[in-house]
């Protein structure tokens, strides 16, 4: 091919160089080399084309280098080559993008990440797929950062400062040009990114808050909240507004409500609970059927739309549960007093009351604003003792309400069995519990499993949520009533296949030929691993195959629960979507017009995002307290199992406390180990020795880095 033939379509060829490497910067000389041009005239034409592209805002010039504008889409490429999604960085350091459309994850090589961080919303150019290979792509634009604020340690220099953040969140030093010189060197601070050029590994920021000395509990917990852009305290105007709300229940208010104060009613909550937003009631009818009530605190009576409290509640969207504290959605006067269904007090509620047969068949139901009187506050442990006496004949301290709890459990047990028969999945997420001393240091940690008392309350809450969603959802099909649903999409097929392969290595069979067979397989596996050392590991990996539940005005049903209609109605003290549901429900049941769908969808998106932020903060607080728990146990031995493998080494979860740490590959001196990712193991190149996911091992704690929430272990060889 002659030089002149290469000139044909030159502008397209130049654009292709940048379009195929959207984040890389090129000099004009590099473009010549890539295109293979040597003729001076053609080089001059290339230079002119590049200059025109800069003038047309297609390319960005920085010094002598050029790159494609992030928002520019190659008009020669079909839009199908682009997609949007969320960055997911695995523990092994590999980058993936989880597409918004639920399609196969996209692998991103380290040179194509565009400085995207874990959790960022991004735009991706998807490369043509190679046979028998995973999809690959290149991040071309960062649509939205998951975080703009980060916690870190300030390191003062002469004319500027650098902030070293947790490398798992931000693996780059943040440069600070202007700051208060009185800030003590080594202090923990919150830094906000103000400028970050795509071509630079040096973000620029400003210090928004000085927290104090690293390692102090209050400093670390506040850093978790503030780095996730979550609140620490209520604005003064919100507290002031709350203080003026009267808790008096007037005769007029009672006359406008259904009065259930004659029904035996009680709450069942954790021992340390302070807010009680749900209660159940029981009454035996003359026809031997049961009248069973689910009563939820009527927060909407006290929190009115557009009030200062309502604006702050929407902003927060959820209560946040860290290991050592709860950051409530509502001020204390509301969540712990006025809206709390406290023992031996009358309370305003929103109730779903069912007439049911002893076989858990629903004869009828009603949904009403109501008033109740809580006869007794039970803890889960107290209720469980009553149920266990009925189920297993164990001894318990009798209660006047034992017959009601026993009959409620019998109904809940049938509801639970029916739900699983219809295709619900038996997900059993572990709940970490820490015992803290007066200084909030962990003295013990364990995983708490749900029992019959938890299941009983869960079933009646699920029933109420489903019933409310059905009540409006079926009407909405004909009359287009905007409503807030809790939805859950089908699992990702590729992830299910991966889990199928993984489970087979442990002797568990997953049949994904149909939904019914897949659900049965999952439930069989969960039953088989319950109580075994592998339970946490298997459950966590199974959960990763599932889509995340979220709020939406478009109802697609709830896959995990096998419900066609589902919403959140039962926790308005701690979830803003429940408060929205209460308001919509009351309006529609009283003939109100449909609300603005677009506006409520925005509310749903916001609440889903805040829910994820709160979950991230909770997870970070658990990781910190696990590290803190092991910080004074350096040198101690524990047994555990391999919970993850990566190029860095193997992760081990300790059996007795579920704390997880890393055994670095470099610490394995007996051989040179290689990662066998497909088989979830590392293999010694000379000995063939393997460490595989789920394998029992003995470790010694060798170091703990509280600031990074990292725990390092050393393997102790097993003597044969």
Looking at domain 79-144, its CATH architecture is Beta Barrel (2.40)
Provide mean pLDDT across the span 164-183: 87
Cα angle vertex 594, ends 591, 597, to 5°?
160
pLDDT of residue 674 exceeding 70, the answer is: yes
pLDDT tens-digit readout, 402-446: 999 999 999 999 999 999 999 999 887 778 889 999 999 999 998
Of residues 308 and 531, more confidence is placed in 308
163, two tokens: 């902030």
C-alpha triplet 147, 494, 540: angle, nearest 5°: 60
Percent pLDDT > 90 in the chain is 62
Distance CA 304, CA 315 (A): 15
Is residue 359 predicted with pLDDT exceeding 50?
yes
Residue 595 phi, psi (nearest 5): -80, 170
CB atoms within 10 A of CB 254: 15
pLDDT confidence of residue 71: 59
Give the distance from CA 561 to its chain's centroid. 18
What is the band of 533 on the pLDDT scale with cuts at 50, 70, 90?
Answer: low
- The CA-CA-CA angle for residues 385, 389, 393, to 5°, reads 145
Confidence of residue 397 (pLDDT cuts 50, 70, 90): confident
User: Of the ranges 15-29, 247-261, 358-372, 503-517, which one carries the lowest mean pLDDT score?
Assistant: 15-29
Mean pLDDT, rounded, for 311-317: 98
Residue spans of the domains in the chain: they are 3-68, 79-144, 149-214, 238-417, 452-622, 631-716
Of the candidates 340, 197, 354, the one whose C-alpha atom is nearest the C-alpha of residue 278 is 340
679-705: string of b/e by CB count within 10 Å (b at 16+)? ebbbbeeeeeeebbbbeebbbbbeebe
Residue 156, pLDDT above cutoff 70 = yes
Residue pair 329/297 in contact by the 8 Å Cβ criterion: no
Q: Which residues pair with 633 in a beta bridge?
A: none
d(CA 686, CA 281): 67
Class of 3-68 in CATH: mainly alpha
Cα 665–chain centre separation: 30
Q: What are the residues whose beta carbons fall under 8 Å from the beta carbon of 113, sequence distance 6 or more?
A: 23, 87, 95, 139
Helix (H, G, I), strand (E, B) or coil at 450: coil
Query: Within 13 Å of residue 250, how many CA atoms lie on the same side as its CB?
Result: 5
Is the confidence at residue 324, as pLDDT, over 80?
yes
Q: Are strands 278-284 and 258-259 parallel, antiparallel or unpaired?
A: unpaired
Is residue 93 within 8 A of residue 107, CB to CB? The reply is no
Half-sphere exposure of 230 (CA within 13 A, CB side): 30
Q: Where are the beta strands (DSSP E) in 221-306?
A: 258-259, 264-269, 278-284, 290-297
Q: Check for a shared fold between 3-68 and 631-716.
A: no
Q: Which residues contact 518 (CB under 8 A, 6 or more apart)?
A: 491, 496, 510, 511, 512
Residue 388 CB contacts under 8 Å (≥ 6 apart), including other chains = 394, 396, 452
CA distances from 591 to 118, 295, 364, 481, 587 (A): 46, 23, 21, 11, 6
Token pair recorded at residue 599? 């506006």
For residue 719, the model assigns a pLDDT of 57
Q: Count H helices and E strands in the chain, helices first.
A: 18, 33
In the sheet with 690-692, reading across from the earlier edge strand, the strands are 673-676, 681-684, 690-692
What is the band of 583 on the pLDDT scale with cuts at 50, 70, 90? very high
Place of tokens 């002797």: 507
Strand partners, 188: 153, 212
Confidence of residue 623 (pLDDT cuts 50, 70, 90): very high
Domain 149-214 sits in CATH 1.10.10.10: no
Q: Which residue has the higher pLDDT, 310 or 200?
A: 310
Secondary structure, 3-state, 179-240: CCCCCCCCCEEEEEEEECCCCCCCCEEEEEEEEECCCCHHHHHHHHHHHCCCCCCCCHHHHH
Q: Which fold has domain 631-716?
A: OB fold (Dihydrolipoamide Acetyltransferase, E2P) (2.40.50)
The closest alpha carbon to 334, from 19, 574, 643, 34, belongs to 574
Task: Indicate if the pLDDT at residue 22 is higher than 70.
Answer: no
How confident is the model over 507-517, as a mean pLDDT? 90
Average pLDDT across the chain, whole number: 89
Phi, psi (degrees; rounded to nearest 5) at 652: -125, 130
């Amino acid at each position: 091919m002659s030089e002149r033939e290469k000139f044909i379509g030159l502008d397209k060829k130049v654009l292709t160089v940048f379009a195929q490497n959207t984040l890389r910067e090129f000099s004009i000389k590099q473009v010549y080399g890539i295109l293979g041009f040597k003729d001076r005239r053609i080089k001059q034409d290339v230079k002119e084309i590049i200059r025109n592209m800069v003038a047309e805002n297609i390319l960005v010039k920085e010094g002598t280098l050029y790159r494609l504008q992030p928002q520019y889409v190659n008009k020669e490429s079909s839009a199908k080559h682009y997609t949007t999604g969320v960055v997911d960085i695995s523990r092994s350091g590999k980058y993936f993008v989880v597409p918004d459309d639920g399609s196969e994850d996209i692998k991103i090589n380290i040179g194509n990440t565009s400085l995207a961080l874990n959790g960022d919303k991004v735009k991706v150019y998807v490369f043509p797929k190679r046979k028998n290979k995973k999809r690959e792509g290149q991040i071309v634009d960062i649509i939205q950062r998951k975080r703009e604020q980060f916690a870190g340690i300030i390191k003062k220099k002469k004319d500027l400062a650098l902030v070293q953040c947790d490398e798992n969140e931000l693996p780059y030093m943040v440069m600070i040009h202007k700051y208060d010189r009185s800030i003590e060197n080594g202090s923990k601070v919150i830094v906000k990114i103000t400028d970050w050029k795509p071509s630079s590994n040096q973000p620029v920021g400003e210090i928004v808050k000085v927290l104090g000395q690293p390692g102090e509990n209050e400093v670390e917990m506040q850093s978790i909240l503030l780095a996730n852009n979550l609140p620490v305290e209520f604005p003064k105007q919100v507290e002031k507004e709350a203080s003026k709300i009267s808790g008096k229940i007037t005769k007029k208010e009672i006359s406008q409500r259904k009065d259930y104060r004659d029904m035996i009613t009680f709450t069942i909550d954790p021992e340390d609970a302070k807010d009680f937003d749900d209660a159940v009631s029981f009454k035996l009818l003359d026809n031997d059927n049961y009248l069973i009530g689910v009563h939820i605190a009527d927060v909407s009576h006290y929190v009115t739309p557009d009030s200062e409290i309502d604006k702050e509640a929407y902003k927060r969207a959820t209560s946040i549960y860290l290991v050592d504290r709860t950051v409530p959605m509502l001020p204390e006067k509301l969540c712990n007093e006025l809206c709390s269904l406290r023992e031996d007090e009358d309370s305003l509620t929103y109730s779903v009351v069912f007439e049911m047969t002893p076989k858990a068949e629903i004869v009828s139901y009603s949904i009403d604003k109501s008033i109740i009187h809580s006869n007794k506050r039970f803890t889960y442990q107290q209720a469980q003792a009553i149920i266990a006496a009925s189920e297993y004949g164990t001894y318990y301290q009798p209660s006047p309400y034992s017959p009601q709890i026993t009959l409620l459990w019998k109904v809940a047990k049938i509801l639970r069995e029916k739900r699983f028969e219809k295709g619900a999945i038996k997900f059993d997420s572990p709940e970490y519990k820490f015992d803290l001393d007066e200084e909030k240091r962990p003295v013990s940690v364990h995983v708490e499993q749900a029992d019959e008392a938890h299941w009983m309350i869960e079933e009646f809450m699920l029933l109420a949520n489903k019933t409310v969603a059905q009540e409006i959802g079926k009407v909405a099909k004909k009359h287009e009533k905007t409503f807030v649903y809790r939805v859950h999409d089908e699992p990702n097929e590729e992830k299910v296949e991966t889990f199928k392969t993984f489970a087979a290595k442990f002797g568990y069979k997953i049949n994904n030929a149909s939904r019914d067979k897949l659900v049965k397989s999952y439930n069989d596996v969960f039953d088989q691993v319950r109580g075994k050392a592998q339970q946490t590991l298997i459950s966590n990996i199974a959960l990763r195959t599932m889509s995340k539940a979220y709020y939406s005005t478009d109802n697609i049903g709830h896959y995990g629960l096998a419900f066609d209609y589902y919403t959140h109605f039962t926790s308005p003290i701690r979830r803003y979507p429940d408060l929205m549901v209460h308001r919509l429900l009351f309006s529609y049941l009283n003939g109100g017009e449909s609300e603005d769908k677009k506006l409520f969808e925005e509310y749903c998106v916001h609440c889903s995002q805040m829910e994820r932020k709160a979950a991230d903060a909770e997870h970070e607080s658990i990781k910190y307290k696990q590290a803190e728990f092991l910080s004074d146990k350096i040198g101690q031995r524990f047994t555990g199992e391999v919970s993850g493998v990566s190029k860095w080494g193997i992760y081990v979860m300790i059996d007795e406390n579920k704390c997880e740490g890393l055994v670095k590959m470099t610490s394995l001196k007996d051989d040179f180990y290689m990662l066998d990712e497909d088989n979830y193991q590392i293999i010694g190149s000379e000995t063939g020795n393997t460490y595989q996911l789920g394998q029992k091992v003995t470790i010694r704690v060798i170091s703990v880095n509280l600031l990074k929430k990292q725990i390092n272990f050393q393997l102790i060889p097993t003597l044969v």
